[in-house]
Amino acid sequence: MEKTSVYIETYGCQMNKLDSENVAAILSESGYGMVEEKREADIILLNTCGVRENAERRIHGRVAELSSLRADRPGLMFGVIGCMAQRLKERLLSHVVSIVAGPDSYRRLPEIISEARQKGVADTVLDIAENYSDIEPVRGDTHSAWVAVMRGCNNFCSYCIVPYTRGRERSLACDTIVEQVDSLVKSGYKEVTLLGQNVNSYNDSGIGFAELLGKVADTGIPWVRFLTSHPADLSDDILETMSVRENICRHLHLPLQSGSDRVLKAMRRRYTVDHYLSIIDKARELMPGIAISTDMIFGFPGESDEDFEESLSVIRRVRYDYGFLYRYSEREGTKAADFDNHVPEQLRIERLKAAIAMQQEITGERHQERIGTVVKMLVKDRSKDGEGWYGMSDLSIPTVVNGDQAVAPGDFLRVRITGTTGASLMGEYFE
Ligand code: SAM
Ligand code: SF4
Ligand code: F3S
């Protein structure tokens, strides 16, 4: 009998991408076949994000669009899994969607799918003990791998849905993580990205993130990256470990969210702008040239013109290499959604637009300042024009090298930066 085939489409953050690889492993183990082409699928799963309203709007649109595939395949089943599934639960069940599974329910997907053949099923039980650490993900990439070091989040930043969709924070055992990376090294992987909503609060019976980072670096994996750091929990020992380890990439993603202490307090972020800036200064002192990136929210409830100006002034002061800037989006059930001082939508849009324009200019300048420097790059693929190579540098900045040298995806190159194109750096081989 032919295997029932499943196609997974993934939205949201890297943790969701890793989860899709776990889901593929769980379903393959139960006899399902994973396919790359949705037209060949018997079941389509959308692994979704719920962090902002427009992420969810997109999924509703996508479900409607994909449902037309039923014209040719009447038995085609649809599932919504991930954070949006956890947030909206059975509200998502419809004549199209019969499978709903939250981030801690993936182990039960084979049963959920069987039951859903009779009647729609929504399984959204959060489970503090679930960390999928025994699952070997079906990895989509043969050089770069994601490794979860923790799941869930305990921070409850007042705007954020993640603690509700992913449940309480749990750290994976240090030994398990090191074993996973060891085995990736043996399989020829070139880089791992350690994942967690707040990796700095990692704790396995007293082993903190700095120690874990050191142990992961000791495996000999050529490159280590990590996401995401929280300014309230990032201790000096993490920066020190980074600075003495050649295989930890020179990039720190440190979300600021707002440049106003008043707004940070309302966001429940647990740090001040001064504290944040002291981390940036220390990182640059220990690792000159390190790339720094951020996440920021504009138009948070109560954000005044002055608060907004303060955010812009931190952008100018830090001069981020790049930033992920968002306009505030109300999330039902979070503290901030109940605040009564919402900023009008139009003003949120205008502020975001102004901030993006400023950051783009600074990104351009920062890239220009890197001209003449030499970076290391992990080759990913041919560049768009087919004449050179595209990859990611140790600064976590996309980089393009011109010329047709004999390299292949997975090779490391030394590149002298010669120019920039918006978000990317351009360069030439450097012997
Ligand atoms: N745990 C990470 C952290 O603390 O930075 C990532 C959290 S979230 C998945 C990624 C980013 O989305 C956040 O850093 C924040 O800037 C943004 N975000 C979260 N909730 C939001 C909301 N309600 N509206 C707009 N942006 C939001
Ligand atoms: Fe959300 Fe804050 Fe947790 Fe990040 S640290 S996932 S922003 S609650
Ligand atoms: Fe990630 Fe979105 Fe969930 S950013 S943790 S998939 S809400």
CA of 181 to the centre of ligand 1 (A): 28
Which residue in the block uniquely carries the two structure tokens 């600074």? 362
Q: How far apart are CA 128 and CA 375, in angstroms?
A: 41
Q: What percent of the chain has pLDDT over 90?
A: 95
- What's the pLDDT tens digit per position in 298-336? 999 999 999 999 999 999 999 999 999 999 999 999 999
Query: Which ligand has its closest atom nearest to the C-alpha of 103?
Result: 3
- Ligand 1 midpoint to CA 83 (Å): 13
Query: Residue 406's pLDDT band (boundaries 50, 70, 90)?
Result: confident
pLDDT digits (tens, 9 = 90+) for 67-121: 999 999 999 999 999 999 999 999 999 999 999 999 999 999 999 999 999 999 9
Provide the pLDDT for residue 7. Answer: 98
pLDDT digits over 134-146, tens only?
999 999 999 999 9
Which ligand 2 atom sits nearest the alpha carbon of residue 156? Answer: 8
How far, in Å, CA of 30 to CA of 109, rounded?
Answer: 10
Atom number in ligand 1 closest to CA 334:
23
Instruction: Name 420's bridge partners.
Output: 425
Q: What is the pTM of this model?
A: 0.97
The band of 352, judged by pLDDT with boundaries at 50, 70 and 90, is: very high
Q: Which ligand is nearest to the CA of 159?
A: 1
Q: Is a pLDDT exceeding 80 seen at residue 405?
A: no
Q: Tell me, what's the pLDDT at 194? A: 98
Q: How remote is the CA of residue 29 from the centroid of ligand 2, in Å?
A: 33
- Taking the centre of ligand 1 as the mean of its atom positions, its distance from the CA of residue 286, in whole angstroms, is 28
Query: What ranges in 156-286 are assigned the alpha helix state H?
Result: 162-166, 174-186, 209-218, 236-244, 261-266, 273-286
The pLDDT of residue 431 is 75
pLDDT band at 387 (very low <50, low <70, confident <90, very high): confident
Residue 403 has pLDDT above 80, yes or no: no
The crossing angle, in degrees rounded to 10, of helices 209-218 and 236-244 is 10
d(CA 14, ligand 2 centre) in Å: 14
* Residue whose C-alpha is closest to residue 413's, from 384, 385, 383: 383
Ligand of minimum distance to the alpha carbon of 325: 1
Per-residue pLDDT at 233: 96
pLDDT at 422 over 90: no
Distance (Å, whole) CA 325 – CA 352: 7
| Ligand 1 probe mutation, 297, 338, 343, most atoms within 8 A of CB | 297
> How far, in Å, from the CA of 197 to the mean position of ligand 2?
6
Instruction: Answer whether 110 contacts ligand 2 (Cβ < 6 A).
Output: no
pLDDT tens digits for range 273-302: 999 999 999 999 999 999 999 999 999 999
Span from the CA of 55 to the centroid of ligand 3 (angstroms): 10
Which residue reads 């979704």 in tokens?
48
Tokens of 135: 């699952």
Is residue 87 in contact with ligand 1, taking CB distance under 6 Å? no
Beta strands in 75-131 (DSSP E): 77-82, 97-101, 121-123
CA 357 / ligand 3 centre spacing (Å) = 26
CB 161 less than 6 A from any atom of ligand 2: no
Q: In the predicted model, what is the mean pLDDT of residues 220-229? A: 98
Contact 76, 41 (CB under 8 A): yes
Over the chain, what is the mean pLDDT? 97
Task: Evaluate: CB of 162 within 6 angstroms of ligand 1.
Answer: yes
Q: Is the CB of 138 under 6 A from ligand 3?
A: no
Q: Does 404 score more than 90 pLDDT?
A: no
Residue 1, pLDDT above cutoff 80? no
Inter-CA distances, 227 with 130, 198, 268, 298, Å: 20, 8, 20, 22
Say whether pLDDT at 250 is over 90. yes
Instruction: Tell me the per-residue pLDDT of 150-203, one tens digit each, with 9 for 90 and over.
Output: 999 999 999 999 999 999 999 999 999 999 999 999 999 999 999 999 999 999
Determine whether the shortest distance from the Cβ of 230 to ligand 2 is under 6 A.
yes
pLDDT for residue 248: 98
Burial 1-18 (b: 16+ CB within 10 A, else e): eeebbbbbebbbbebbbb
Choose one of 52, 157, 162 to mutate for the ligand 3 pocket test, by most ligand atoms within 8 angstroms of C-beta: 162
Separation between Cα atoms, residue 203 and residue 198, nearest integer Å: 11
- What is the position in ligand 1's atom list of the atom closest to the CA of 336? 23
Give nearest CA residue, ligand 1 atom 6.
197
pLDDT at 212: 98
* Cβ of residue 155 lying under 6 Å from some atom of ligand 2: yes
